[in-house]
Amino acid sequence: MGETTGLTNSEAEELCKKSPDSSTKDFIFQQTMYRIKDPRKSLPFYTGVLGMTLLQKLDFTEAKFSLYFMGYENSSDVPNDSSERTKWAMSRKATIELTHNWGTESDPSQKYHTGNTDPRGFGHIGIMVPDVYAACKRFENLGVDFVKKPDDGRMKGLAFIKDP
């Protein structure tokens, strides 16, 4: 089955001791892609509940899908010009790309696997908040579904909410 314990700190440090190649000095972690079923539910969740801004929307009509780039940026900083906006959005650090394949919102059999049930895989997107209890109270008031509340389970002070 594999290892029964994780790496020690020194093992992890040893595996990562090589300095990054200088050709990667300008690389940034730009996005994580997450498939959504219905942008009419997901966009209000990411903006109204999580406080993100829509940085850019791109439509791919031939392939019948749209991309919504979301992030924590001031909306007044978002360029109005479409090509400048795309360039700007792609230069932001740590954004989420919500991918909507057209028609999935009206297909009751369409479901995406979150990776939190077997087979395990992708787990979650982490958002840091100043006060987890205050944020969770707000989420409750907004009718957000929880996977885990801050005092549930073994890990205290963490919460996991469900994407719609």
- Distance, in Å, from the CA atom of 117 to the CA atom of 160, rounded to the nearest integer, reads 14
The answer to whether 124 is a known ligand-binding residue is: yes
CA-closest candidate to residue 101, choices 36, 34, 33, 40 = 36
| 36 close to 46: Cβ distance less than 8 angstroms | no
The answer to whether 113 is a known ligand-binding residue is: no
Token pair, residue 106, equals 């009206």
The answer to whether 11 is a known ligand-binding residue is: no
At position 137, the amino acid (one-letter code) is K
Indicate the annotated binding residues for Zn(2+).
31, 97, 124
Residues making up the annotated binding site are 31, 97, 124
